Amino acid sequence: MQGRQGKGYDPWDRSSRELLASTNGSGKQRAIPQRPPRMARVDHPPQTPRVSRPQRQNRSPKSRRRRLLILALVFVTCGLLAGVLGYGLVKYFAAIGSSAGAANTTADFMLALKNQNYDQAYNDLDASITISLNKDAFKQMAQADDQCYGPVTDFNEKAGSATTSADNNIQSYTYDVTRSKSPKTYPLTLTLQKDPNGNWNITKYDNDDLGPAPPSTSCK
């Protein structure tokens, strides 16, 4: 058995520097990073405080009743607003429908006069007129105006002339009428009333005549 080799030959006697050099294969010792100056030494890592999970709070019966009461008030308010809005829309569209019906009657009447279709014009008159003025008498009156002032050649509704009663049952329209023998236009206002069936009929026209003036006094 061989004795223990001398100092420097036994692996156990090698210095740590030699061991480090043999491990990296370069023959040079690895550089050890230096701690920055004035940096405090930390022996133990800092402890991270644990945040507890928030506990869910159960609502009290009183809080639930209050919440239900608020929801009920919201629903009731929305219902009232919807009812008021719906009623307003119904009245609005009803007024539009009424205006359209009255305007259609006046337009039909004026067009019938222009076409000298007096029977059709007579059908647009209300019973308050026809009860004392039959169809033949109305036709004679219209023809007298045509002979005196000339037939109707054009008519236009005056802007802003339409009026409506508070209950939307009476309306009036004013037209600028042109006749072939007249040098200028003249206004003709037609008043209408809605009957129980919802139909609009003419109840009045200016001076109870369709011309600028009754022909018996102006055409001689």
Residue 97: HSE in the Cβ half-sphere, 13 Å Cα cutoff: 8
Q: With a cut of 50, say whether residue 182 has pLDDT above it.
A: yes
What average pLDDT score do residues 12-38 get? 57
Highest mean pLDDT of the ranges 12-26, 40-54, 148-162: 148-162
More confident residue, 207 or 116: 116
Is 2.40.128.20 the CATH classification of the domain at 89-218? no
Buried b (16+ CB within 10 A) or exposed e, 162-187: eeeeeeeebbbbbbebbbeebeebee
Percent residues over pLDDT 90 in the chain: 43
What pLDDT is attached to residue 92?
Answer: 40
**Which three-class secondary structure string do you get for 49-76?**
CCCCCCCCCCCCHHHHHHHHHHHHHHHH
C-alpha dihedral over 105, 111, 115, 120, to 10 degrees? 0
More confident residue, 73 or 174: 174
Q: With a cut of 80, say whether residue 34 has pLDDT above it.
A: no
For the question of whether the overall pTM of this predicted structure is more than 0.75, the answer is no
